Amino acid sequence: MFIKKIFSVTELNTYLKNKIEEDGRLNNLWIKGEISNYKMHFSGHAYFVLKDAGACVRCVMFKNRASGLAFLPQNGMNVIIRGYLSVYERDGNYQVYVEEMQPDGVGALHLAFEQLKDKLEKEGLFDAGRKKALPRIPKKIGVVTSATGAAWQDIQKVIFSRYGNIHLVLAAAAVQGENAPREISRGIELLHQIPGIDVIIVGRGGGSLEELWAFNTETVARAIYASRIPVISAVGHQTDFTIVDFVADRRAATPSAAAEMVVPVKEEIKNLVDILQGRMERRVLAQIAVAQQRLAYLSKSSLFTNPERMLRGKMQLIDGLKQALERNTLGKLHEYQNRFKLLTEKMDMLSPLTTLARGYAVCRKEGEKGVVRSASQLNIGDMVEIFLAKGLISCAVKKKEEGDI
């Protein structure tokens, strides 16, 4: 008797998952297509759809794989992926679990270089206006490179042959490999902790794009951008360009060229000093000659030959000014005296005392302050006070007549 098997949904998805994973051809797939609906989850996992003209498939790339990508995947980018097919049991969807990804038709490192270059340029890390000038004659130079590399030997050779008493400080760092970006950035930070570093050279000898890749990383680029000390990039050969070449304050084609750029030839400086000293001496002698000629001219002038004559003229001028000042002072004094007299006479004319002196009197009702100007203000029997030019009398009103007199 046939016994039919009834699957639960979970059992069915698990069965399909196991069948797919047992297929060897689906355990190591290479697929090419166009990225669509790319999303980077906060966990670091990347989810996207890979499609072509006829179909699409869901894909997931976990953080441990996605973090190792040299470039940034974007919607519309054609890529080749390697991974394995399986079923996500919860949703019943099959999807590709991506373990490797590379651009289709463009090298991953080249694409990463262009992406980072475009990003940093938009942020202003390459702006010429922020680049610092190099010191004319540095006393202490910091170098970030490998202690065993040819670059360090070349820099020492060039610098000491041109200016023997320069102080070199090496911040040894790996210049390729996984740890290189962190060590190069740390080297730049360490040189900032040493007093007196005037300029920093960061670089290494030539190599392939992979070997130079540490100098194309965002970590090193931002460390150079944050440097308070001028930085010269000296990476590879003349034809090699890296991201740090665009960020650094100056680019040198090679480590030897960086050493030549930062340190002048001592003999050339001496020759220049001699030339400038000769120019200075000739100019000083010329100025002394002009001053001597002027002194000879002035020594023959009347100021030196007969100074008393000039003093007499100045003394006569002072006497004249003194007399003029006295005349002006007396004139002003008489003018102010006359004006004072006129104002005093006007005040006397307007004074009520003057009016009283001419025979007039001022009448005021006894006990009040107001002046009586009309008979209507008084009644028969009121007591009034009459102010005369000299003295005061008190009277009683016996009769009054109102109206104009």
Long-range interactions of 193-197: CB distance < 8 A, separation 24+ = 194/140, 194/142, 194/169, 196/139, 196/140, 196/167, 197/140, 197/141, 197/142, 197/169, 197/229
- One domain, residues 124 and 236: yes
The answer to whether residues 163 and 227 belong to one domain is yes
**Same domain assignment for residues 36 and 166:** no
CA pair distance 143, 72, nearest whole angstrom: 32
Question: What digits encode the pLDDT tens for the residues 326-375?
Answer: 888 888 888 888 888 888 778 777 776 676 667 678 888 888 888 878 88
- Residue 273 confidence (pLDDT) above 70: yes
- 256 domain-assigned: yes
The string of pLDDT tens digits covering residues 183-210 is 999 999 999 999 999 999 999 988 877 7
Q: What is the pLDDT of residues 128-173, one digit of tens each?
A: 999 999 998 899 999 999 999 999 999 999 999 888 788 999 999 9
CA distances from 354 to 210, 332, 348, 357, 386 (A): 119, 31, 7, 5, 16
Residue 22 inside a domain? The answer is yes
> Between the CA of residue 192 and those of 62, 151, 181, 187, 263, what are the distances in Å?
38, 21, 17, 9, 20
Tell whether 216 is covered by a domain.
yes
Among 212, 229, 264, identify where a domain stops: 264
Containing 200, the helix (H) or strand (E) segment is strand 199-204
Domain boundary among 57, 80, 106: 106
Q: Is the same domain home to 57 and 127? A: no
**What pTM value is reported for the model?**
0.52
The CATH number of residue 66's host domain is 2.40.50.140
Do 129 and 237 lie in a common domain? Answer: yes
* Whether residues 62 and 145 fall in one domain: no
Domain count of the chain? 3
Helix (H, G, I), strand (E, B) or coil at 304: helix
Dihedral of CA atoms 327, 328, 331, 336 in degrees, nearest 10, equals -150
Q: Please give the average per-residue pLDDT across 301-325, as a whole number.
A: 76
Mean local confidence (pLDDT), 14-27: 81
Note whether 133 and 14 are same-domain residues: no
Residues 238, 148, single domain; the answer is yes
* 199 and 60 part of one domain: no
Provide the angle, in degrees to the nearest 10, between the axes of the packed helices 180-192 and 218-225. 10
* More confident: 220 or 373: 220
- Show Cβ contacts of residue 166 under 8 Å, excluding neighbours closer than 6 positions: 138, 139, 140, 141, 159, 160, 263
Are 213 and 157 found together in one domain? yes
pLDDT of 240 over the 70 cut: no
> Which DSSP string corresponds to 111-148?
HHHHHHHHHHHHHTTT-GGGPPPPPSS-SEEEEEE-TT
- Does residue 331 form part of some domain? no
Best-predicted range by mean pLDDT (5-14, 83-92, 272-281): 83-92
Nearest to 149 by CA among 254, 264, 260, 263: 254
Within a domain: residue 292? no
Of the candidates 35, 29, 101, 39, the one whose C-alpha atom is nearest the C-alpha of residue 65 is: 101
pLDDT per residue over 221-231, tens digit each? 999 999 999 99
What is the residue range of 380's domain?
357-396
Q: Which of 229, 264, 299 is the last residue of a domain?
A: 264
Q: Are residues 93 and 148 in the same domain?
A: no
Shared-domain flag, residues 72 and 141: no
